[in-house]
Amino acid sequence: MTPPRRLLITFLSLSLVLCAANNAHAKRAAPRYKVDAVTDSAVTASAALIALFSQLAISSGELTAQTPGPTENLSFIDRWVAERDDFEEGSRLSSNILLGVAAGFVAVDSVISGWLGGVRAGLTDALFYTQSILINIALVNIVKLTVRRPRPEAYWQVRNSGTAGNEKTDLALSFYSGHAAFTAGVTATASYLAFRRYGVGWRSFLTLGVGIALTAAVSIERVRSLAHFPSDVITGAIVGAAVGLLVPHFHFQGYEVQPTAAPVSGGGAVVGFAGKL
């Protein structure tokens, strides 16, 4: 791994941890989220089962990969990747490390939120992250198994190794990128929670900015390693972000309102409410 790549991974790792710590110190009225035991259990369990069994089908080798066709059939945005002759295996490792950084952020943010906001706050954040991740994995696997698009690596194998490029099921699971969807989903959920805690503030934009940088870095490394086409990672980032945004948004109920009272002349009091509705 090159020094610039190590520096990037270190920077993003530290930035994400700082985002998690900052987000838990919100001074605003606390947002309220509704968690329904039946609905959330059904959604979480269904997504988990789909993710599990679809992954088993992918890893079992029972499915034959589609043989790559002529590169001329690819769109202009993707063709140049299939025609590349360099194969950067280190980029695949980098993308996996960055994915681990995103997963680590989920754990850190949930723990700190629970530490400062109470067990319920921590469990609520953890639920949102879990649902976002599981739904994204389930959607990615369903689309991958439906589309069965050969990866750029399969084109490389046909051109440079003289093979058919369909020896493994995974070689035909290019569309769309699970790495990009996972990272973008975590970013969207974290950014949503940050903006609800702070509103439009520097901490919220820090979380969003670092998350976008992390998603972009993962996506670039996936393309560089010939694991995905540009259209794969773009689709993954958009769909992943949409899921990560909608999960907490569907649970949002408003802000907690605290009654306040201020003394006035004559011994009375003016009663009001503090907090954003």
Q: What is the pLDDT of residues 235-251, one digit of tens each?
A: 999 999 999 999 999 99
User: Each residue of 110-166: pLDDT tens digit?
Assistant: 998 888 888 888 999 999 999 999 999 999 999 999 999 999 999 998 888 777 777
* Average pLDDT value for residue range 173-192: 96
* Average pLDDT value for residue range 54-69: 87
Q: How confident is the model at residue 30 (pLDDT cuts 50, 70, 90)?
A: confident
CA 203 and chain centroid, separation? 19
CA distance 167 to 61: 9
Q: How many residues does the chain have?
A: 277
| 42 neighbors 263 (Cβ within 8 angstroms) | no
CA-nearest of 164, 190, 175 to 247 is 190
pTM above 0.75, yes or no: yes
pLDDT over 70 (residue 102):
yes
Number of structural domains in the chain:
1
Range(s) of the domain holding residue 31? 3-274
3-state secondary structure 30-51: CEEECCCHHHHHHHHHHHHHHH
CA distance 44 to 196: 23
As separate numbers, helices (DSSP H) first and strands (DSSP E) second, the chain gives 9, 4
Q: How confident is the model at residue 169 (pLDDT cuts 50, 70, 90)?
A: confident
Q: How confident is the model at residue 29 (pLDDT cuts 50, 70, 90)?
A: low
Structure tokens at 257: 């309102």
